[in-house]
Amino acid sequence: MILRILKTNQAYHFILIPLLVAGLWFRSYIDPVYFPYFEGENDMFLYRFVHQWVAHSALLSNLLSMFFVIVFSFLILKLNTEYAFIRVRTFLPSNIFVLIIGGLITLHTLHPVYFALLFLLLCVDRIFQSYEKEKFHDSAFEAGFLIGLGSLFYLNLVFFFPIIWVGFALIKKRPQWRNFALPVLGLAVPWLFTWSYHYLTNQLPAFWDTILVNFETENSFFSGNIPLQVYLGYLMLVSFLGGIFLLNQYDEKKISTRKNFQVFFLITLIAFALLLFVPAVSQEIVVIMSLPLTYLISNYLIFMKQKFWGNLFVYLFIALIIYLQFVS
C-alpha cells in the first residue's frame, strides 16, 4: 500500500514531498540546533560566508537544510525523467531520497555537504547530457568547474573528480584529449582564484591550514551510536539487495542506462573509500552517497515481483526513521 502511494506519478507528490520533509524535520524547528562542526569544518573558503550569514539563527540553518532536501528531491526526479535510469515515470526516487536523509537527524541542519551534493548533481547532469552530443567540450569544462566550486564548500568533493573522466570514457568510445584536459582546467579555475586571493592578502598559511584541518581532523559520529549504526546497516542491506537485483536485469537495460549506473557505482565506491581512509569524513558522506543509492533502491522496489516484500522494506525503513527522531 505505502509503496504504491510513494511510486505513483501523480501531481500530489509536489505537496506530499514538502509535507514529508516538514514531518521528518519537526525537531529542527521545534528545538533548532546547529550542526556540531569540528574546528575548521565551517571555515571552508566559500562555506564560511554562508555560515556567517546563518550564525545568528539555528532555525534559519535548519530551514535551509529542509529547502535543500526538497530542491534535491525534485532535481533527482528531473534527472530520472531526462535520462530514464528507471524506465517508468515515478516519484519514488524523490521520496526515497527524502527518507534516506530523514534518518540522518544530525544533518537536519545546514552543512557544507548540501552544497557539495548540489554541485555533484549538476556535474552528473553535464556528464550524462554529453551522451547525445558529438562534441561536448563545454560540458567537460563545466563538469570540472562544478566539482571545483563545490569543493570550496566541502573539500572532499574534490575526490569525486574521477567520475568525470570515467563518465566521458564510458559514454564516448573515442573521447578526445580535450575531454580529459578541460575538466582539469575547470577544476583548477576556482582553486586558482581562491589561492590568488589568499596570496595577495598574505593569508597563505590560513589557506593551507584550512585544507589540512578539513582533511586530517578525526571526525566520527558512528562509534557508540547504535541507532545510527542500525539505520545505516539497514540502508546498506537494502542497497546490496538492490545491487544484486540490478545485476540480474543488467542485460535488459539500455546501453546508456548501464553506463549511467556505472557512474553511480563509482560515486558510491569513492564515498566508501573516503569514509574509510579520510579522517575528517563521517556521516555527512551518506548525503552524497544517497544520490546513487536513491536510484538503486528505487529500481529494486519498483520492479521486484513480490510487492509484499517491497512494502515491508519501506515500512521498516519508515519505522527506523521515526525511531531515530526520538533516540538521536
Q: What string of DSSP letters covers 192-252?
A: HHHHHHHHHTT-HHHHHHHHHHHHHS---S-TT-HHHHHHHHHHHHHHHHHHHHHHHTGGG
Query: Nine-digit cell at 54?
Result: 546563518
Dist. CA 178–CA 189, nearest whole Å: 16
> Do the beta carbons of residue 289 and residue 267 sit within 8 Å?
yes
Percent of the chain with pLDDT over 90: 67
9: amino acid identity, one letter: N
**Nearest by Cα to 124 from 148, 144, 99, 100:** 144
Q: What is the pLDDT of residue 320?
A: 93
In 86-225, alpha helices (H): 92-102, 112-129, 137-151, 162-171, 178-200, 204-216
Report the range of poorest mean pLDDT among 3-12, 16-25, 61-70, 195-204: 3-12
More confident residue, 309 or 159: 159
Dist. CA 259–CA 212, nearest whole Å: 35
Q: Please state, as a whole number, how many other Cβ atoms lie within 10 Å of the Cβ of residue 255.
A: 10
Beta-carbon-side half-sphere exposure of residue 158 (alpha carbons within 13 Å): 20
Q: What is the pLDDT of residue 251?
A: 77
Query: Nine-digit cell at 220?
Result: 566520527
Residue 67 has pLDDT above 70, yes or no: yes
Question: Phi-psi category of 217—alpha, beta or left, where left has phi over 0 and alpha has psi -120 to 50?
Answer: beta
> Do the beta carbons of residue 222 and residue 106 sit within 8 Å?
no
Residue 211 has pLDDT above 70, yes or no: yes
The pLDDT of 146-172, averaged and rounded, is: 93
More confident residue, 223 or 293: 293
> Do the beta carbons of residue 65 and residue 140 sit within 8 Å?
no
Q: What is the pLDDT of residue 173?
A: 64
**Nearest by Cα to 6 from 81, 91, 98:** 91
The pLDDT of 94-104, averaged and rounded, is: 96
> Do the beta carbons of residue 169 and residue 131 sit within 8 Å?
no
Residues ≥6 apart with Cβ < 8 Å to 260: 83, 85, 128
At 116-157, the pLDDT tens digits run 999 999 999 999 887 776 667 788 899 999 999 999 999 999
Percent of the chain with pLDDT over 70: 97
Q: What is the pLDDT of residue 305?
A: 82
> Do the beta carbons of residue 150 and residue 41 sit within 8 Å?
no
The mean of the pLDDT values for the chain is: 91
More confident residue, 182 or 328: 182
Dist. CA 293–CA 230, nearest whole Å: 17
Dist. CA 233–CA 223, nearest whole Å: 14
The pLDDT of 248-277, averaged and rounded, is: 88
**Nearest by Cα to 68 from 26, 107, 23, 15:** 107
